[in-house]
Amino acid sequence: MTNTAKYIFVTGGVTSSLGKGIIAASLAKLLQAQGYRVTIQKLDPYINVDPGTLNPYEHGECYVTEDGAETDLDLGHYERFLNRATSQANNVTTGRIYQSVIDKERRGEFLGKTVQVVPHITDEIKERIQILGKSGDYDIVITEIGGTVGDIESLPYIEAVRQLRWDLGENNGIVIHLTLVPFLSAAGELKTKPTQHSVKTLMESGVQADILVCRTEHNLPKDLRRKLALFCNVKENAVIQSIDASTIYDVPNLMLDEGLDKVVLEKLNLKSDTPDIERWNQFVHRHKNPKSEVTIGLIGKYVELQDSYKSILEAFIHAGAENEVKVKVESVHSEYINKDNVHLKLGHLDGVLVAPGFGERGIDGKIDAVQYVRENNVPFLGICLGMQMAVIEFARNVLGIKDAASSEMNSDTKNAVIDLMEDQKTITDKGGTMRLGAWDCDLKLGSAIRDIYKSESISERHRHRYEFNGDYKAQMEAAGMQATGLNPDTGLVEIVEIPTHPWFIGVQYHPEYKSTVANPHPLFVAFVKAALLHSRGKRSATMAKK
């Protein structure tokens, strides 16, 4: 396939965490809204083959694509902004690059040559960058390069970009460099020097930035932009300010005001138009002007870090806007919940979500939380480990199976109501071996879930090793916990619900990965609605007392 796509490379300088992913996603949104077919790719310079084995403390949430790739959380932003699925090709790591080159070497594909970073590793990077462009599915590919220029790990990527710009020819590949313009309060001044240095570092590798996007806390005055343009070899209209925003969903409009899309299209020799972001703006308006408020508890063990449950938090924003409700998410550390304090910790909440997770830490608190919401009619959504905890809680406290457990945490239990399937028992490698990616699920007639999705069958993304043990299904159903979603091929239980409870649903899959601005996830929308009803009920009960 010929390479007809145009390429935009996004690099970062000065410091990490400047929000390259959001800038890339916002630009992509503006280009998409002018009729271009756009995709975004993230290149991560670390040596892990994928972030699936990384602790969320280390790298935030692991995002899962339709095709089962465990990827960087920036891919979540790409999907949420563009409403288009990404795939394995959208996330490449140094580990993956090296693995592929070493495999080729073992197969003898380099014909006796010495295998080196240049050209073999850089060739592999260039090939990976062009996979999406050569597919014919996209007009523009945005490639975000993780890390900060000057890092040792980033060098082969920057070299690949340098070469590719030549290979692609003029107007076919451009570089956007994202930097920081700090404000020194003691001097009362914005400082350009770090940006100048980082552009210079990029130039030492032979790459000239075409556009600068400058993160800043204050507006960049005209003379400062002129100075940056002069010292960094870019045109004045190519110095774009990216001022701190109250929500990431404001960034596309901020970039539009700065004319980022226009400069990009001009440099790529493509036609520019007024982007149609009407629907996007309606969402932002609803998000910023809620009519009421609910508080939902997020019970997990990575509560200190916003990034660990990124997709869940974003799904609440989409669902909140859809309901015109502000969803206040209150993180509750499951390790500190017990039977004595559970009322104190959860009593004021309008809904409770028990989060996904791995390992033993904090699971008793999760089980106590489920028991509390089940007995007190508080809306409950359990996701993955959260659903498994709901099954264990029901088995223990309703069926009276005291040693009911998951074999993940207790491999000796006689009652593994959550257990490994046969095909998982022989697996020893941890990376990429879970049940991953999109799986079909049939929804039971008359169930709440079928009403929520308004569909007989769905497809959702998974990331887990353990499953509902079918041996207990009949007992559980007889006691009131229904299996209302089943995988059509394996019969595995994907959804449980308690019909006698106002809103109690556990799902083995991760609905949060598929919630986007254009398509808020129906399960989150329904959960927020249930929380709103619950809060109104609580309010009228208190009023009646008065």
Nearest approach in angstroms of CB 311 to ligand GLN is 12
Nearest approach in angstroms of CB 492 to ligand GLN is 12
- Extract the tokens encoding 72: 């960087």
8 A C-beta contact, residue 407 and residue 533: no
| Catalytic residue of the set 144, 512, 521, 534 | 512
**Residues in Cβ contact with 204 at an 8 Å cutoff, skipping those fewer than 6 apart:** none
Rounded CA separation 43/21 (Å) = 11
- Pick 29 or 464: Cβ nearer ligand GLN: 464
Rounded CA separation 66/465 (Å) = 17
Q: Tell me, rounded to whole angstroms, the distance of Cα 498 from its chain centroid.
A: 29
Can 510 be counted among the known catalytic residues? yes
Nearest approach in angstroms of CB 61 to ligand GLN is 10
- Would you call 325 helix, strand, or coil by DSSP? strand
- Extract the tokens encoding 317: 């924003």
- Pick 340 or 423: Cβ nearer ligand GLN: 423
| Catalytic residue of the set 62, 232, 384, 441 | 384
**Residues in Cβ contact with 318 at an 8 Å cutoff, skipping those fewer than 6 apart:** 80, 283, 515, 516, 517, 520, 521, 524, 525
- Pick 227 or 465: Cβ nearer ligand GLN: 465
Nearest approach in angstroms of CB 359 to ligand GLN is 7
| C-alpha neighbours within 13 Å on the C-beta side of residue 163 | 18
Task: Count CB-CB contacts under 10 A for residue 405.
Answer: 24
Q: Distances in Å between the alpha carbon of 285 and those of 177, 282, 512?
A: 30, 5, 22
Nearest approach in angstroms of CB 435 to ligand GLN is 8
Q: Distances in Å between the alpha carbon of 222 and those of 228, 236, 543?
A: 10, 9, 57
Nearest approach in angstroms of CB 357 to ligand GLN is 5
Nearest approach in angstroms of CB 293 to ligand GLN is 28
- Which residues lie near ligand GLN (CB under 6 A)? 356-358, 384-385, 408, 463-466
Nearest approach in angstroms of CB 363 to ligand GLN is 10
Residues written for the chain: 546
Number of helices and strands (H, E) in the chain?
A: 19, 23
How buried is 425 (Cβ within 10 angstroms: 0-12 exposed, 13-18 middle, 19+ buried)?
A: exposed
- Would you call 397 helix, strand, or coil by DSSP? helix
Q: Distances in Å between the alpha carbon of 297 and those of 91, 307, 355?
A: 32, 16, 10
For the chain, how are helix, strand and coil distributed in percent, rounded to 5?
A: 45, 20, 35
8 A C-beta contact, residue 398 and residue 481: yes
- Pick 165 or 464: Cβ nearer ligand GLN: 464
Can 204 be counted among the known catalytic residues? no
Is the peptide bond between 156 and the residue preceding it cis, with omega within 30 degrees of 0?
Answer: no
- Pick 128 or 461: Cβ nearer ligand GLN: 461
| Catalytic residue of the set 501, 510, 521, 534 | 510
C-alpha closest to that of 325 among 77, 82, 81, 520: 520
- Would you call 247 helix, strand, or coil by DSSP? coil
Active site residues: 384, 510, 512
